[in-house]
Amino acid sequence: MPVMTKAQLLAENERLRRELAGAQEQRTATSDILRVIASSPSDLQPVFDTIAERAMRLCGGAYGWVMTYDGQLVHLSAL
C-alpha cells in the first residue's frame, strides 16, 4: 500500500466523514419512517407524508411527492 501524504490523509478523512454523515442521515430517515409506520398501522397518510419529507431532506430537494398505484390508477399520495 502506498504511503499517503498528510494532505491526502486529511482529504480521505474528510471524505469518510461526509460518507458517514450521509449514512447516518439515511439511517435516521429510515428510523423515522419505521416509527411512523408502527404508530399509524391503519392510516397510511402519515407514512406517505414522512417518506416524502425525509426524501426531500436527504436529496436536498425543494419539492417531492409520493405516488401510489391501486391496480388501475396512479394517485398522488403525498406532496
pLDDT single digits (tens) 30-49: 999 999 999 988 999 999 99
User: How many CB atoms are located within 10 Å of the residue 77 CB?
Assistant: 17
Question: What's this model's pTM, rounded to 2 decimal places?
Answer: 0.77
Q: Which residues contact 26 (CB under 8 A, 6 or more apart)?
A: 58
- State the residue range of the domain holding 35: 6-78
Whether 28 maps to a domain, the answer reads yes
Q: Is residue 65 part of a domain?
A: yes
Instruction: Name the more confident of 4 and 31.
Output: 31
Number of domains in the chain: 1
For residues 73 and 68, give the distance between their C-alpha atoms in angstroms, rounded to a whole number.
Answer: 8
Confidence of residue 55 (pLDDT cuts 50, 70, 90): very high
Region 1-26: mean pLDDT is 92
What gap in Å lies between CA 27 and CA 19, rounded to an integer? 12
Per-residue buried b or exposed e for 23-53, using 16+ beta carbons within 10 Å of the residue's own CB: eeeeeebeeebeebeeeeeeebeebbbbbbb
Answer yes or no: is 58 within a domain: yes
